[in-house]
Amino acid sequence: MGGCLSSHQSAPLNHSKSKLISKRGDMPRSVYESEATSEWGDLKDSYTRRSVKKKPVGIAHRERAETRQDAPSAVISDRQKTEWDLEIILEALGKHFVFKGLRKDLHQAIVFHMKYYDLDPGEIIFEQNNPGNNFFVVESGDLEVIINGNQVKVLHAGDSFGELALLHDSPRSATVKTITKVGLWGLTRHTFRKALEKINATYYEENKNFVNTVPLFHILTAKQKEVLVFALSSFKFSSGENIVNEGDPGDLLYIIKEGTVICTQKGAEIRRMGRGEYFGEQALLYGSARTATITADENVTCIAIGREKLIKVLGNHLHQIIYKNSQKIAIEKSKTLSQLTSEQANSLIAAMEINTYEAGTRVIQRGAAKGAQLIIILKGKLKYSDTIIEKFNCLGDEEITNESAETYEYDILADADTDCAFITKEKFQICIGGRYEHATANNEALQVMKKIQLLRGLSNDQLQALSHALLVQEYSDGFEIVKQNSPGDSFFIVRSGKVEVYQDGQMIRAIKKLDYFGERSLLFDKNRTATVISKGQSSCWILRKSDFLNIIDEALRTRLLKRIFLQDDKIEIEELVPVKVLGRGMFGNVILTAHRAKGSLYALKAVSRKKIEEYQLQSMVMLERNILMEIDHNFILKLVRTFKDNKRLYFLFEYVRGLDLFDVLRELGLVNEEDSLFYTSCLLCILEHLHERDIIYRDLKPENVMIDDEGYPKLIDFGTAKIVSGRTYTILGTPHYMAPEIIIGKGYGIAVDYWSLGIMLFEFICGCLPFGNDEDEPYAIYEKILARKIQFPGYLNKKSAVRTVIEQLLSKNPAMRLGGSIENLKRNEWFCTVDWERLLSKLLPTPYVPHLPELDKEIEKAMKNPKSLESVLNSLGEDEDIVPAKKGNVQESEAWDNAF
The edge-to-edge listing of strands for the beta sheet with 394-395 is: 353-357, 418-424, 373-379, 394-395
Domain co-membership, 111 together with 188: yes
Blockwise average pLDDT, block size 10, the chain, 900 residues? 40 31 32 31 51 72 54 94 92 84 79 95 95 93 96 95 86 94 95 88 88 86 85 91 92 92 94 92 81 94 89 79 90 94 92 94 95 94 94 94 93 95 96 91 88 78 89 96 94 95 92 90 89 96 93 81 72 94 86 92 93 88 91 91 93 94 91 96 96 94 95 94 88 93 90 97 94 90 90 86 95 89 91 91 92 92 93 84 55 76
- Amino acid type, 141: G
In a domain, 137, yes or no: yes
Q: Are residues 169 and 285 in the same domain?
A: no
Backbone angles phi, psi at 124, to 5 degrees: -85, 130
Give the closest residue to 457 by CA, choosing from 671, 91, 712. 712
Distance CA 685, CA 831 (A): 12
Single-letter amino acid code for the residue at 452: I
Indicate whether 667 belongs to any domain: yes
Against a cut of 0.85, is the pTM above it?
Answer: no
Active-site annotation holds for 569: no
Q: Are 878 and 608 in contact (CB under 8 A)?
A: yes
Establish if 308 belongs to a structural domain. yes
Q: Which residue among 251, 280, 314 closes a domain?
A: 314
The predicted structure's pLDDT at residue 746:
83
Dist CA 767 CA 218 (whole Å): 45
DSSP state of 830: G
Residue 297: inside a domain: yes
CATH number for the domain spanning 364: value is 2.60.120.10
**197 and 110 Cβ atoms separated by less than 8 Å:** no
Collapsed DSSP state (helix, strand, coil) of residue 724: coil
Tell me how far apart the alpha carbons of residues 688 and 817 are, in angstroms, rounded to a whole number: 14
Beta bridge partners of 636: 715
Same domain, 305 and 407: no
The count of structural domains within the chain is 5
605 known ligand binder? yes
Same domain assignment for residues 279 and 374: no
Contact 33, 795 (CB under 8 A): yes
Looking at 530, 551, 572, the residue that finishes a domain is: 551
Residue 612 lies in a domain: no
Same domain for 276 and 301?
yes
State whether 825 and 682 are in the same domain.
yes
Residues 427 and 471 both lie in one domain: no
Query: Does 880 map to a domain?
Result: no
Residues 80, 220 within the same domain: no
Given 195, 230, 252, the domain boundary residue is 195
Residues 167 and 244 in one domain: no
* Mode of pairing for the β-strands spanning 182-188 and 115-119: antiparallel
The active-site residue, picked from 118, 169, 547, 699, is 699
Residue 652: which of 586, 707, 570 has the closest Cα?
570
Closest by CA to 623, choosing from 698, 696, 721, 691, is 721
Within-domain flag for 631:
no
Q: Which residues pair with 57 in a beta bridge?
A: 733
Instruction: Please tell me the distance from the alpha carbon of residue 600 to that of residue 658, in angstroms, as a whole number.
Output: 16
Same domain assignment for residues 223 and 171: no
Domain holding 662: CATH number? 1.10.510.10
Q: What is the pLDDT of residues 636-686, one digit of tens each?
A: 999 999 999 999 999 999 999 999 999 999 988 889 999 999 999 999 999
Which amino acid does the sequence have at 159?
A: D
pLDDT at 709: 92
Q: Write down the pLDDT at residue 361.
A: 95
Of the candidates 184, 183, 168, 197, which has an alpha carbon nearest to the alpha carbon of residue 110?
A: 197
pLDDT at 65: 37
- Can you point out the beta strands (E) in 645-738? 648-654, 658-660, 695-696, 705-708, 713-715, 722-723
For residue 280, which of 263, 297, 268 has the smallest C-alpha distance? 263
User: 134, 193 in Cβ contact below 8 A?
Assistant: no
d(CA 110, CA 196): 8
Question: Are 374 and 422 in contact, with CB atoms under 8 Å apart?
Answer: yes
User: Residue 44 falls within a domain, yes or no?
Assistant: no
205 to 198, 225, 729, 851: CA distances (angstroms) = 11, 12, 14, 52
Task: Return all residues near 62 (Cβ < 8 A) that are at least 6 apart.
Answer: 615, 616, 617, 620
Residues 6+ apart with CB under 8 A from 21: 40
CA distance to 155, 327, 370, 466, per residue, from 755 (Å): 37, 32, 50, 38
225 shares its domain with 355 = no
How far is Cα 608 from Cα 772, in angstroms, rounded to an integer?
Answer: 37
Query: Which domain range does residue 522 map to?
Result: 459-551
Q: What pLDDT is attached to residue 49?
A: 75
**508-533: per-residue pLDDT in tens?**
999 999 999 998 888 888 899 999 99
Query: Per residue in 46-72, is it b (16+ CB within 10 Å) or e — as a string?
Result: bbebbeeebebbbbebbbbbebeebbe
3-state secondary structure of 90: helix
Q: In terms of domains, do 709 and 804 share one?
A: yes
Amino acid in the structure at residue 549 = L
